[in-house]
Amino acid sequence: MSALPPPSRIQLAPQQGADGSLEPPISLSVHEGGQGPAIVLLHGFPELAFSWRKQFQPLVDAGFRTIVPDQRGYGASDAPRGSQHYDMAHLTGDLVHLLDALEIEKAIFAGHDWGGFVAWAMPVLHPDRTAGVIGVNTPYLPRSPIPPTQALSFAAGGDVDKIYILWFQEPGVAESVLDQNPRIVFEKLMRRSIPMEEMQARVAEGDGDMNPFRRLKELPETGAVLLSEEELDFYTQAFTQSGFHGGISWYRNFDRNWEQHPEFGVQKISHPSLMITAENDMALQPALAADMPSRCEDLETIMISQCGHWTQQEKPEELNRLMIDWLTKRFG
């Protein structure tokens, strides 16, 4: 099992709450090493800094100061109660304060899944602290004309249980299911990919149900095993301790982020950008990145074939090569 160095606990400066008052400061668990241009690796849901374990040392060896936090709400980092603490202002604010604590002027932000949304938000909200962006599976999407959950509800025909993002919205519902058996989340979902056509056929057979989280016990095991027993134990122990509230709370801010930041998906990004798609990612399909050149002025795009959603773990060598080649060319 590829390893990350032992983490440091870094206390961040307090952020301003919705009422204008300063909130209690939080601390993040952060793995760090290397010298050179700084790159911050941002995980998604339901993941951890651990998900970047196979990228850490190659990036350090390539000459980059590599910083990998458990983000707010995850792992050994603090997890404030209440979804209002997990909007994009807080998530990007954490990264600015993390750079301040590490005395770094600016960094490249690489994000996968939800971490990708945060990475693409950095050059919009904090352009002076951003050197470049790498999206892994997650594109810089255009702005929805209506609130995101409303658009998803239309797509689901009003059946909120069929789309996990909608099912996540009601506080306590998803937590009551996932917290009971964290191990099954990773046993059933964190697996190697199958061809997109086969996955689409399975969704069609399930009457368009895109919510595996509420029916994990009945879900067939799809794709070959991806995690070793040791790796599976690591995820299980981390989420047994933390629960899923923090990560799920990010989803409860889709509409809030849409309301607070009308510039997302509209404002063009001029920073150097790399978009890495995965051929078999059903959740973040490569087609979603097709029109990104209209929103990114300095963009390279490449697809990893026969790869699903868990790119860092399914195709680590290929991902490492693509990231390091681009980073060395643009920042090395």
The CB density around residue 154, as the number of other CB atoms within 10 Å, is: 10
pLDDT band at 2 (very low <50, low <70, confident <90, very high): low
In the block, residue with structure tokens 């899923």: 244
User: Encoding tokens for residue 168?
Assistant: 């996540």
* Contact present, 149 and 253 (Cβ < 8 Å): no
- In this model, does residue 201 exceed pLDDT 80? yes
Closest CA to 273 of 289, 286, 251, 259: 289
Give the end-to-end CA distance of the chain in Å, rounded to a whole number. Answer: 28
- In this model, does residue 204 exceed pLDDT 80? no
pLDDT band at 238 (very low <50, low <70, confident <90, very high): very high
Average pLDDT of the residues in 316-329: 98
Say how far apart CA 297 and CA 131 lie, in whole Å. 14
- In this model, does residue 18 exceed pLDDT 90? no
pLDDT of res. 198: 87
Which residues, listed in sequence order, are joined to residue 32 by a DSSP beta bridge? 67
Say how far apart CA 328 and CA 151 lie, in whole Å. 40
pLDDT of res. 221: 86
Query: What number does CATH give the domain 10-17+26-145+253-331?
Result: 3.40.50.1820
pLDDT of res. 205: 75
pLDDT band at 259 (very low <50, low <70, confident <90, very high): very high
pLDDT of res. 160: 87
* Contact present, 167 and 211 (Cβ < 8 Å): yes
Domain residue ranges in the chain = 10-17+26-145+253-331, 148-251
No. of H helices and E strands in the chain?
Answer: 13, 8
- In this model, does residue 1 exceed pLDDT 70? no
Mean pLDDT of the chain: 96
The model's pLDDT over 268-314, given as tens digits with 9 standing for 90+, comes to: 999 999 999 999 999 999 999 999 999 999 999 999 999 999 999 99
In the block, residue with structure tokens 């709370």: 249
Say how far apart CA 199 and CA 205 lie, in whole Å. 10
Percent of the chain exceeding pLDDT 90 equals 89
User: Encoding tokens for residue 96?
Assistant: 């600015």
pLDDT of res. 313: 98
- In this model, does residue 69 exceed pLDDT 90? yes
Strand, helix or coil for residue 316: helix
Residues carrying an active site annotation = 113, 309
pTM for the structure as a whole: 0.97
